[in-house]
Structure 1
Amino acid sequence: MNLGDLVVRKSYGGDLTFRVEDIVQNKAVIKGTEFRLLADSPLDDLVQVPPTRITERGQQAQIKAIEHLSWLRKDRQEQSQRSGESVSGAWTQTPAKEPAYFEVPGKVLHLDGDAIYLQKSLSLYEQLRIPAEGHHIHESKMAETLYRLLPRVRPDIVVITGHDGVLKQQQHYDLYSLSSYKNSQNFVAAVRVAREYEKNFDSLTIVAGACQSHFEALLGTGANFASSPGRILIHALDPVYIAAKASFTPIRDSVNLSEVLNHTISGNQGMGGIETRGSFRIGMPRLQNLATLKVAPSVL
C-alpha cells in the first residue's frame, strides 16, 4: 500500500472511500474523498480500491452534490434577475440588450486543510461567478495565516475548514471539551482571529468547521455558520454552499437559514448557524469595456 492509494475500511463495511495520506509502522492516516473526515486505521483493516469504485454512501453524496449545485446555479440566476428588477422595477437594459447595472457578490477567503478539497471549492466558486481566494493551510497554522491575510484580502466571507473528528482513543470523551476533537481547537483559534479583525457579524460572515467539529464552540467564538450540530460527517462542499449563498444574498436580506441548511448535503445536523445578512450588492452604471471606449485626453 502506498501514499495516495484509495482504500475502504473492512471494519466499517467499506462505507466510505479514503485516500492514504501517511503510513506509520502498521497504521495509515487516511482522509475521506467525499467527506471531511481524518482518521487512522490499521493497515490490515484497509482494502485498496480502484479510482472508479464508488461506495453506496459516496454515490448518494455525489447525487446530492449535483442536485444542490443545480439549485445554487438556479438561485444565482434568479438573484441576477431580481437585481435587475430592483433597479427600476423591470429589466433595465442598455441598447445592446444588456443589463445597465453590475453585480458585486461577496468576496470569499477560503482556508482549507485539504489541497484537493480546496481545488474543488475554488472550481465551484468560479462556476457561480463568486470572487474567491483560496489557500491550502494546515489547520494548526490557520489562525496566524488569517492574521496576515485578512487586512490584505478584506473579504466579506471567510471559510475555515479542513479535517476534524472526535478522537476515538479517549475512553470517556467529553463532547463539550475541545480536547476531544482533532482540529476543533485550531478552527476556534482561527475564528477568534477573524472575529477580532471584524466584530460586526454582518460585515464579515465566518463559516467554520469540518466533520464532527465542536459546533457550539465555533459559534460561541464568533462564527456565523459552523459544523457539526449532530457531530456527523459533513460533505467536502457543505461549507462552500453556505459561503456561496451568503455571497449572492442581497445585503438588505438575511440568508434564509432553513433553505440554505436544508440544501447542504449533510443537512441541519451537519451545518448550523445564526441569522446573517447577505453580502451581494449591485451598482450602476454597467461597467464598460475600456479597450473600446473612445476618450478625448484632457491632460497635457
Structure 2
Amino acid sequence: MSWHKGQIVTRHSYGHDLLFRIQKTYNNQAVIFGENFRLEADAPLDDLRRVKNEERHKIEQQVRQKEATSYRMFRQDYYLRSFRDYAKPTSAKEEEVAQFQLCPKVLHIDGDALFLKKCVMLYKRLGLQVHGIHVEEAEMPLKVRELMEKVQPDILVLTGHDSYSKQKGEENDIRAYRNSKFFVEAVREARKVEPSLDQLVIFAGACQSHFESLIKAGANFASSPTRINIHALDPVYVIAKIGYTSFMEKVDLYDVINKTITREKGIGGIETRGLFRIGLPYLKGLPITNEKVKDDE
C-alpha cells in the first residue's frame, strides 16, 4: 500500500478516534498531524488506516458542531457586553461625539500552515487584526524576537503541534514532550523583549503541552493542564476574549476558558487585563472604527 503526504488516516491502536494527515514517511513509520487537534505523533504504517470520504465527513461534522457552539457562545457574549457598555455617554451632548474602538494587534506564530490559515480566517471573522506567520516549532525561539520587533504585537500566540510520550519520561519531564521545550524557549525570548504580563499577553502550547513550564516561562495562557489534546481553534477564542475585554477590566478566567472547545482540561491561565480600548472623537483614517463580529454561522 502506498502512502504519501496529505493522506487522511486514523490509528488502529487508538480505536480510530481522531483524524490525522500524513506529514512524512520514513522506515515504515509516519509522522502524522492531527487534522482538527494540535497533536503530532509517530505511527507505524501498518497501524494506519485510510479514511473513506463518508467517514471523514461524519467525523468532521461532529467537530464543526463543537466549533459552531464556541463561536455562538463568543458572539452572544460579544453582544451582551458590546462596545456600548464601555464609556457610555451620560448626556445628549456626549452622544453627539462619535467614538472609535482600538483592538489589540495579534502576532500568531504557528507550526502548522493549514491550522494557521484556519485561525487567521476566524480572527478576521471575529473582527480582530492579526499577523499570521508559519514557523516550525524548533525555529520559534530563534525567530520570535525578530518577528515581535517587526510587528510590535499586543498579543503573541505560539502554537503548532506537540505530544507527550511515556516512553521518554514522566509527565513532569519536559524532555518527554515533542515540542514543549521550543514553546517554553520562545516564551522566554518574548519576555526578554516585553516582561510585563499586561503589556504583552502570550498564549503558548499545543496538544498535551507542558502547561506548568509555559506558565513559569511567562505565558498568560497555555495548554494543556491535563495533557489532553486541544482543538486547533482554541487559542483564537482565548485571544478574542482578551481582545474584546476593556483594559479597565480583568479577563474572567472561568469565562474565557469556558468558551474554548476543550475547556479547563485543555486550557489554563493567570489573571490578565483586557486590551480593548475606546476613544473619541472618531475621525476618518483612525486604524479601527466600528467593526463588528460577523453575524453568521
For normalisation by structure 2, the TM-score amounts to 0.90
Q: Could you tell me which residue of structure 2 aligns to residue 2 of structure 1?
A: 4
Q: Separation in 1 of the partners of 2:131 and 2:60?
A: 28
Choose from 171, 191, 206 the match for 1:210. Answer: 206
Kindly name which structure, 1 or 2, has the bigger radius of gyration based on alpha carbons.
1
Change (3 A) 1:15 1:201: same
Change (3 A) 1:89 1:67: farther
Q: Could you tell me which residue of structure 2 aligns to residue 100 of structure 1?
A: 98
Q: Could you tell me which residue of structure 2 aligns to residue 286 of structure 1?
A: 282
Q: Could you tell me which residue of structure 1 aligns to residue 139 of structure 2?
A: 141
Q: Percent identity?
A: 46
Alpha-carbon deviation of 1:52?
4.7
Write the deviation string for residues 212-256 of structure 1: whole angstroms up to 9, x where unpaired: 100000000100000010011110111111011111111001111
- Check conservation: 1:14, 1:55, Cα contact below 8 A: no
Q: How does 1:196-207 map to 2 (within 5 A)?
A: 196-207=192-203
- Check conservation: 1:19, 1:33, Cα contact below 8 A: yes
The gaps in structure 2 that reach 5 residues or longer are 287-297
The gaps in structure 1 that reach 5 residues or longer are 291-300
Q: How many aligned residue pairs are there? A: 283
Q: Classify the secondary structure of the residue corresponding to 2:101.
A: strand
Q: Could you tell me which residue of structure 2 aligns to residue 259 of structure 1?
A: 255
Alpha-carbon deviation of 1:80?
3.5
Q: Could you tell me which residue of structure 2 aligns to residue 295 of structure 1?
A: none
Q: Classify the secondary structure of the residue corresponding to 1:239.
A: helix
RMSD across aligned positions (CA)? 2.0
For normalisation by structure 1, the TM-score amounts to 0.89
Alpha-carbon deviation of 1:181?
0.4
Change (3 A) 1:27 1:54: same
Q: Classify the secondary structure of the residue corresponding to 1:62.
A: helix
Greater RCO, CA 8 A, separation 6+: 2
Q: Could you tell me which residue of structure 1 aligns to residue 163 of structure 2?
A: 165
Change (3 A) 1:163 1:4: same
Change (3 A) 1:287 1:50: farther
The answer to whether the aligner puts 1:230 opposite 2:226 as a matched pair is yes
Q: Separation in 1 of the partners of 2:91 and 2:268?
A: 35
Q: Classify the secondary structure of the residue corresponding to 2:87.
A: helix
Q: Could you tell me which residue of structure 2 aligns to residue 277 of structure 1?
A: 273
Q: Could you tell me which residue of structure 1 aligns to residue 120 of structure 2?
A: 122
Q: Classify the secondary structure of the residue corresponding to 2:195.
A: coil
Q: Separation in 2 of the partners of 1:226 and 1:75?
A: 22
